[in-house]
Structure formats: C-alpha cells, structure tokens
Structure 1
Amino acid sequence: MPKTILTVDDSPSIRQMVGFTLKSAGYQVVDANDGSAGLTKAKAAAYDLVLTDINMPAMDGFALTAALRALPEYKSVPILVLTTESSDEMKQKGRAAGVTGWLIKPFDPHKLLEVVRKLIG
C-alpha cells in the first residue's frame, strides 16, 4: 500500500508540481489550499507525512504544525516545510512548533524525494 502524503499550500501551481513529483514516485497525495483545510483533512484521515507552506491565509504552517502536534496521531508523523522563508528565526520558530525538516522554494524535485524517502521510505 502506498504511503500517503498531505500537501498544504495556497499556491495551486506549487500543489500541482509537488503532487506530480510525489505521485510519480509512487506516493498517494491529498492536497489542501490552506492550514485550516489541511487540519480538517488531517483529522479525517491518517497521513504518513505532511508537507506544508508557512505563509498561507486562514491558518499558517506554524499554526498547522502546532495543531497537528497536539493530536496524538500526529505526535511522530514527519512534518516538512516547503517555503520561501529561509531565515534562522523562521526555522527556529518552525522547530519550536514541531517541524521535522525545512525545504526552500523553488524546490528541487530530486531533493524533495530524497528527503521524503529518508523520512517515510
């Protein structure tokens, strides 16, 4: 059974590119257009990994990560950030919220797959 990944980003083109990259590697992908929608989907089904942007309307990636970490079923699920933010301050804020890893946009599809494979196989 393929691993399932929840991708959360307010950019339709990023969701499409990330989805294509992950699906081509055999992963099942469900997407959401902001943190609030992502949290709703995460509560409705189990995911092996969550990939989220930081800057989104309704609920940002930090709030989404903190909300997921508060749920018992997401205590140990890897949460990756895919964002344009690269400052140490933002990364520190991400670690405090419970982020597992950090990737910078524009992303390299090979690097994304390498990180995902390390985390969930």
Structure 2
Amino acid sequence: MAVILLVEDNELNRDMLSRRLIRAGHTVPTAVDGAEAVERALSLAPDIVLMDLSLPVIDGWEATRRIRQQEAGRRVPIIALTAHAMVGERERAMAAGCDDFDTKPVDFARLLGKIAALLDPGA
C-alpha cells in the first residue's frame, strides 16, 4: 500500500495509530519531534506524512514549512493532526503547507478516507 510517515511525540498515540495503519497494509516509519520529521520526510520520500502539530524541538507548523521549502518535500501530501481543534487551527495548518487537517482523538475511518483521497485524487 503506502509508506506513511507518522510524526507523533506521544508514545501511546504513536503506537496505537502505527499499529492500526500497519494492519491496514501500510508501512509506517515514525518520527518523534519536528526536526526528525523534516529529516525523515526528506530522506525517506514517504507517500504521505501525518504531522502532529504540537511537537518538541520544532513544532509541526515549522516542520511542515521546512519540508515544503525543499524540492523533495513539495509534493508529499501532509495531513496535520492535532488535539487542539480551536478556531483557526485548520487555516493555520493549511497556511503552513498542510494538505488536510484532522483532530485527535483520531476517527480512523475518516483518516483513512483522507489518506486515500490524497494518495489518489482522481478516485
């Protein structure tokens, strides 16, 4: 299926979501902070990135901007994930370069739909 880079600093969230994505047939490398997210997104060339926005070292907004600044990171779809669903968060994530936005706790079926739509926009 797809290589999905999961960027999540919370170990329980990372473990739960990665196991569910793997069961759905995906390969799921992970990153635990924004700096590692940038490095892994550019070196692994994943099919999609799931980016937590509240991260240590570099937050998810800045990590997304840094990924987008590089040629290798301009085309990879990025879905922002956040537990902070306040007004303006979606717009802020999109302005940073995210392609979509979802809230935690993750509705797995909805997230899979967003992943599928970004991986195959013509479907």
Using the size of structure 1 for normalisation, the TM-score is 0.92
Residue 9 of structure 1: aligned partner? 8
Asked if the contact 2:45–2:76 (Cα under 8 Å) also holds between the matched residues in 1, the reply is: no
The root-mean-square deviation of aligned C-alpha atoms, in Å, is 1.2
| Structure 1 residue 92, shift from structure 2 partner | 1.7
| Aligned pairs for 1:81-92 within 5 A | 81-92=80-91
Q: 1:9-45 CA deviation, whole Å, 9 max, x = no partner?
A: 1101111111112111111100011111111112222
Larger mean CA deviation between 84-93 and 95-104 belongs to 84-93
Matched, 1:99 2:91: no
The equivalent residue for 1:114 is 113
CA distance in 2, matches of 1:99, 1:40: 17
Give 1:82 deviation, angstroms: 1.1
The one-letter amino acid paired with 2:100 is G
AA in 2 matched with 1:28 = T
1:51-72 CA-partner distances (Å, limit 9, x unpaired): 0111111011000110011111
Map residues 1-121 of structure 1 onto 2, 5 A cutoff: 2-121=1-120
- DSSP 3-state at the match of 1:29: coil
Q: Deviations over 1:51-99 (max 9, x none)?
A: 0111111011000110011111221211001111212322221111111
SS of 1:110's partner is helix
TM-score (structure 2 length as normaliser): 0.91
**Distance in 2 between residues matched to 1:43 and 1:76, nearest whole Å:** 11
In structure 2, the CA distance between the partners of 1:71 and 1:103, relative to structure 1 (3 Å rule), is same
Answer whether contact 2:42 2:73 (CA < 8 A) is retained: no
Q: Which runs of 5+ in 1 are unaligned?
A: none
